[in-house]
Structure 1
Amino acid sequence: MERLRSETRSRVTIGVVGPHDLVEQIMSIGADLPAAADWRLVGAPHAEERETYEKFCKIADSIDVVLFTGPLQHDLARQSGELPVPATFVPVNGSGLYSSLLRGVLSHGIDPARVSIDSISAADVREAYGEIGVSTDQVHLSEYDQPESARGFIGFHEKLYRQGTTTAALTTIRTVAKKLVAAQVPVLRMLPTPHTLRLALNTAALLGTGSRLEESQIAIVLVELAASARPSYSGPGNYWQQELKLSLQQALLADARLMGATVVPRDENSYVVTATVGSLSQATDGFRVAPFIDRIRTDVGVAVEVGIGLGNTARDADSNAMLAVEKARGADAAAAFLVGLDGTVLSLPLRQRRRVEAASEPAVTSKAAKVLERLVEGLGDGPEARVVDAEIVADILSIAPRSARRVLQGLVEEGLAWPMPTVRAAQAGRPRQPYRLVMERSLR
């Protein structure tokens, strides 16, 4: 019994707060994941969004981190009072739009070209409709921007339907869907995909682990658009802003994947990157150069301000990151700043790229790309085929496992693969190190 208590205490406790159906789905998915032994889930479902903070407070003392089922619940809780534990939320994106549209066409006979959609960004809607080859000319959108915007969703959908402009409403919010049904407006509720929920659980587990560590192992990086790079106005009609946000997130993910970090939006102009101190140290040459700034300038063409915070808990790291980004604002995006455990401030200059290297890079990149092509030819078509290890590479390339490991490391250095968590072997021996091949990079 004492051993069981010890194991329970060693696991990260994740509170899940949101509507009943989503909380139940997350609890079910979380119980089936391989990492389920490393966490304990505590559900706090609500019937109405206004109950979010109350439900959270009832479990706050017994959890290490809270996962809200969407940005609305997260923002409502933050507006209502202090969150004494690290918090994250399930992102709202276009992944659930495909299944909702298909369900609407097959079961309800709606016209997908004449619908109203809330919460999702214009960029995600355009991407989803582009994939299915349907025009968005008669698709009406009301994006989420803080809880105040959600209060207008019901009127937005109902007015368009009454006017005969739309055939149905698509919403991510349960209470909005219920009230539209009561008003006899055809409505489809968009739910996050299981993949999105799994990623959100993993992010929550990472934050929760950081909050429990007595020694600093979590680093929080805040990346903000510099004032000069921000659009003069924001809103659903500013498509340039949406494209900028998408490009910025993609550039962050390109580096974050290599260090096993997570990237989530903080607000309209900033992102939070959560990583281990060790992986971030490697990415910054031992905290000697700034992360992310150089890639974003190259890939996106905008200036960003970067602040890094370290702390005994994720909460302390987040506070230090906010102090660090304040200092970065005064440096004209010429350096990142780090605030350490004891309040020490470090300035991390930009990585100085030697332009002469550009002439020698194509041959190396071309060789790595050719290796990647050979691997792709020897693999299947499914997404699981993108995950390889030294044994698989050795078999396809007809080389020794030691050489295969060097090949994989070369692909990582060229950005054509990124390492995944190691898999413990069933028997004694070297743990299996899987890598995911980055096909998108090779097609550029």
Structure 2
Amino acid sequence: MKLGIAGPQEPGEKIIQIIKREFHQIEPVALTYRTYLEAPSLIAPQQPFLDVILFAGATPLSYAEKHIKQTIPWEFVPRSGSALLRVLLSIALLNKYDICRLSSDLYDTAQLYEAYEEIGINKDRLQIYTAKPLPQANDFADYVCAFHEQHYECNRVSCCITALSSVHERLTAKKIPCFRVDPTADVIRQTLHKLQLNYLLQVSQQSQIVAVYLRIDASHEYSLLNDNEYQYIIDKTNVTREIYLFAQRIQAAVIEVGLREFLLFSTKQMLENVTNNYEKIDLLPAVRKNTSSTLSAGVGYGKTAQEAKINAGIGMERAGKAGGDTAFIVYSGNQIIGPIRSYDINQPANTNPKIDQKFLAVSEKTGISVNTVFQIYSLVKQQGKNRFTTAELAELTGVTLRTMNRIVAKLTLHGFCCEVGKRVLANSGRPSRIIEICIP
């Protein structure tokens, strides 16, 4: 874990010493500043290269939150009662300052009363002044200095305590007794342990196994695909290709389950990044656009791979019942999100489910029957080429040459085929035209 430590030099060095001595899994990076006003400009360029940032106190963290965007976890070393008791002990040992009369800018009155009760001093004996917290203001340090200085000059307090190094330096320079409250080693250790556990939990969650269950939606009973087994296999191959391309993007393991189902295993972080937290599952529109099929998809989370698989199956069944070409996300505890569709829900539905729309459009433009259009389209896929002589097309489709010439003429008129050359098939007679089929 790469940990950025944002704070003044002295507390920052103390934290780094503890890390080097006791936390060998942490790589510390010093982000040292003189005043917390420098924190945002110091941290912003370093965030992409760090895993966590630890602030020396709450004030620099609050100020940084106002000025830069947080992209990684931030934490601060808390203001503990033990640190306050330590500084009170230091003041008392000097036998010079009255610890019952002081000003503070880091603890509220209730926290201070509680600390004094721990050492047997009743709050009735106390004359304590606390500064109003305004850490996001650019002039907060000036405000705090003026606060302490005013109370000291008016003889209300014997000394002051602060957590800000810049305030400590300025008041000390003015001969005002000021004591800085630094976190104890024990509090630093506790904070570092907490950071480690949170980081490991985050990594574990990002690496959580997620299952994606996919099913090729069944074609309508009147679909043209049902009349051509070869074309059905070609289409399934195209769908499989899109699935494997998607699996490659999310670095998933793929298991083919039966004839129409696929099971993918990836990680939470990878899948959510690729789909932008499921705002856009590109696989669904890719299959819809590039094949004659659609998919029902279920994404399943779980504490185990088995639970993730079961939840993904639930999501897939939900997607199928919703009409296909959609996805459902199923989390642990049966929390379900969906449907997530690959198209605008307000677009008009298929008004003629008995005829595949792509071939119907060509048929309506050319005046050629849908079956003939589909037959020619299937020949292109089956033969692995899109150029034929008119004689070849006539023979393969089982129609006369004259009929095929009429079909070619209609397709050419509307841009679905074009003549690219001629070929002599016999020693005598006219050469046969070479036609390039352009049916999408």
Q: TM-score range by the shorter chain?
A: 0.3 to 0.5
The structure number with the bigger radius of gyration is: 2
TM-score, normalised on structure 2? 0.46
How high is the TM-score relative to the length of structure 1?
A: 0.45
